[in-house]
Amino acid sequence: MSEPRGRSPIVVGIDGSENSKDALRWAAQQAELTDTTLSAVVAWQVPVSFGTVWQMPATYGKSHDLSQVDFPADARKTLDAALEEVLGANPQVSVTPQLVSGHPAPVLIEASRHAALLVVGRSGLGGFAGMLIGSVSQHCVSHAACPVVVVHRTAEPH
């Protein structure tokens, strides 16, 4: 599908968590209902400890050499897997996948400047269990340049 003229996309933040997949599902349904496009954004960043060997706790029994990690490729895999799982091979809406280097909160705030709506999950992979709303979601609600929908995970399977 092509983007209708003059319409801003719905932007959705993806991090691979179940909450972000629910947000993607909701955003795709909204894009279909409003005949607009979807911009699926994955933000990635190199950790502060990049280039060092990170020793996992002894319970895991191994070290990880972060200099061997391809962060953009991992982000692409996360995005592709979420899009395939949630939307399938032939989405009903036009989707523009975006990989952006940076922390998710400022990346999504920047994307909101050109969006009709920003959709995020209530908390993602970096959140603390049991939080009412995650730090990225809270930042987006407080600073986005467009309306924000925070999708809460449902107990019902989709």
Residue 131 has pLDDT above 50, yes or no: no
Q: Quick one: which H or E segment has residue 100?
A: strand 95-101
Neighbours of 63 (CB within 10 A): 10
pLDDT at 8 (0 to 100): 95
pLDDT at 135 (0 to 100): 83
pLDDT at 128 (0 to 100): 47
How does pLDDT run across 36-47, given as a tens digit for each residue?
A: 999 999 999 887
Strands (E), 49-91: 53-55, 63-65
Residue 92 has pLDDT above 50, yes or no: yes
- Mean pLDDT over residues 44-51, rounded? 69
pLDDT at 132 (0 to 100): 45
23 vs 66, residue with greater confidence: 23
Residue type, 47: P
Neighbours of 140 (CB within 10 A): 27
How does pLDDT run across 56-77, given as a tens digit for each residue?
A: 444 444 555 566 778 899 999 9
Its pTM surpasses 0.85 = no
pLDDT at 153 (0 to 100): 74
How does pLDDT run across 114-130, given as a tens digit for each residue?
A: 999 999 998 754 444 44
